[in-house]
A and B are shown apart, each in its own frame.
Chain A
């Protein structure tokens, strides 16, 4: 079991290394979910849970000053606990949401504390010591993966037994309630994305996408293709 916990901890740390990997989406639930599934011997379940969480945390992106819930720690732990106790996506999301909110607070705390290093950065700059700046940048950057890795390992080590018996005691009506909530939650993500782009000038395209999917039942790839072709045609 220890090996499993360590591997899951490594997945969380890999997720948080996104800060060094150019925000290339490698930290998203749709990528980390299958990895957790792989470690726990049920990759299909990992993919399905990853897709469900990706959907719910769709608008969970770092734009401007907003620090979103930490879907890396929350998503991986939620997925791991759900698979380990033989539960599905609805349990994973019920765990992922509160855990990711708690983890976000820890990370915000780190972002508040990091300016303490700025004195050192400025002193090194004054001395022209660029090597020290490089190392401090990397070292401070590694704090987040290390801190969240430690918390993940503790959560697994201390929480697994309690979590299993707790999850087993959840009655079916709670589970079906969670499932409905889970199907509804993507609305938040869609809304956050709309907030980025929706205005009267382009609103019609949103409804065109909806109609193509709801009435004509076109798959997503076809709608994406039309989304490229139609604006090209209309702009001449």
Chain B
């Protein structure tokens, strides 16, 4: 499902009851979105928890409140870092619902569930695929030598963009709603952004086997007296080819749906045995 298919939200004819303070509270509460993560309904109680400051403002009667709470205890799952965009959009829709008797309440959950999948695709690749990778690349390459700047930069490189985006998306969602996403979809900005972000992430991942995997082979070939180290031949062709090859071997296994746990154990054994038989060092 793409962003083009997201149902239109009804035209905003409403008084602004939700304040900036309420939205700020939604943002802070979104940090606890996954606290009660469970295998049945996933982030549902986190979503309700995050919406409560808005619901309290909008619904004074017990019946209305009960309906709203039940609405937001439905299954929900998206990338936590970008969840505030959906929370903001939902806040705007709830506000309208509270003032308009003929508002179709089901449309709130239709929009929520319509957005959570496509947005998770975008935000997973942005936060996990790009920001986390860059933060880790920079942080690890410093910390591996014992430099305290490593962990510090790791936290900052990820969280400065993370918090700025997460905070502002709450307000963007509330103020512009689906229109924002539909416009992005029309102009292909989202596609360009996702592609740009994955290019950046992939370049850093490509560099990682070369920089962060000190694997070589102590194998020698040739007859006694005129032996040549295999590693020096490899180095003349493609330096760091072994780590690259191992990475692609692992990637092939992941593509074959081998479980991560088995993959970790498999590589552990490969390295261990490889070291004992002097294939790898």
Would A181 and B271 count as touching, CB distance under 8 A? yes
Contact of B32 among A20, A43, A68, A232 (CB under 8 A): A20
CB distance from A138 to the nearest CB of B (A): 7
Would B132 and A25 count as touching, CB distance under 8 A? yes
The proximity string for B residues 234-260 relative to A, scoring 1 for CB distances below 8 Å and 0 otherwise, is 000011100110111111011100001
The interface centre, meaning the residue of A34, A108, A128, A179 with most chain B CB atoms within 10 A of its CB, is: A128
In the complex, A184→B244 CA distance in Å?
Answer: 11
Would B144 and A52 count as touching, CB distance under 8 A? yes
If A47-B146, A205-B202 touch, does A58 touch B31 (CB 8 Å cutoff)? no
Would B243 and A187 count as touching, CB distance under 8 A? yes
Contact of B265 among A97, A141, A186, A193 (CB under 8 A): A97
Interface of B: prevailing SS: helix
The proximity string for A residues 192-204 relative to B, scoring 1 for CB distances below 8 Å and 0 otherwise, is 1111111001110
Would B80 and A190 count as touching, CB distance under 8 A? no
Would B41 and A118 count as touching, CB distance under 8 A? yes
Kindly state the interface size class of chain A when it binds its partner: 35 or more
In the complex, A201→B194 CA distance in Å?
Answer: 13
B70: interface (CB < 8 Å)? yes
Of all chain A residues, the one with the shortest Cβ separation from B248 is: A191
A125: interface (CB < 8 Å)? yes
The proximity string for B residues 17-34 relative to A, scoring 1 for CB distances below 8 Å and 0 otherwise, is 000000000000011111
Return chain A residues, CB-CB under 8 Å to B272: 177-178, 180-181
CB under 8 Å from chain A, chain B span 166-207: 166, 192, 195-196, 198-207
Would B271 and A185 count as touching, CB distance under 8 A? yes
Return chain B residues, CB-CB under 8 Å to A183: 213-215, 271
B223: interface (CB < 8 Å)? no
A228: interface (CB < 8 Å)? yes
Would B250 and A191 count as touching, CB distance under 8 A? yes
In the complex, A196→B125 CA distance in Å?
Answer: 7
- Residues of chain B having any CB pair with chain A under 8 Å: 30-41, 44-46, 48-49, 52, 55-56, 62-63, 65-66, 69-70, 73, 77, 80-81, 120, 124-125, 128-129, 132-141, 143-148, 150-151, 154-155, 158-159, 162-163, 166, 192, 195-196, 198-215, 238-240, 243-244, 246-251, 253-255, 260-261, 263-265, 267-276, 280-281
Task: Pick the 10 closest A-B CB pairs, nearest first.
Answer: A141-B35, A209-B206, A181-B271, A114-B38, A115-B40, A209-B203, A22-B31, A191-B250, A213-B210, A51-B143
Q: List 9 A-B contacts (CB under 8 A).
A: A19-B35, A31-B154, A51-B139, A54-B143, A108-B39, A118-B41, A121-B44, A141-B32, A190-B250
